[in-house]
Structure 1
Amino acid sequence: MYKQLEQLITLTGNDLNLVSRRFGQRADLTSEQLEMLRILYNYETLSQYDLTMKINKEQSIVSRRSLIHI
Structure 2
Amino acid sequence: MSTATTSASVAGRNRQVRFSGFPGMSPSEFIRRFFVDAQGIQPGELLTRIERTYVNGAPEQLALNGSTDT
Larger radius of gyration: 2
Question: TM-score, structure 1 length as denominator?
Answer: 0.33
Question: TM-score, structure 2 length as denominator?
Answer: 0.33
Q: Between the two structures, name the one with larger relative contact order (CA 8 Å, sep ≥ 6).
A: 1
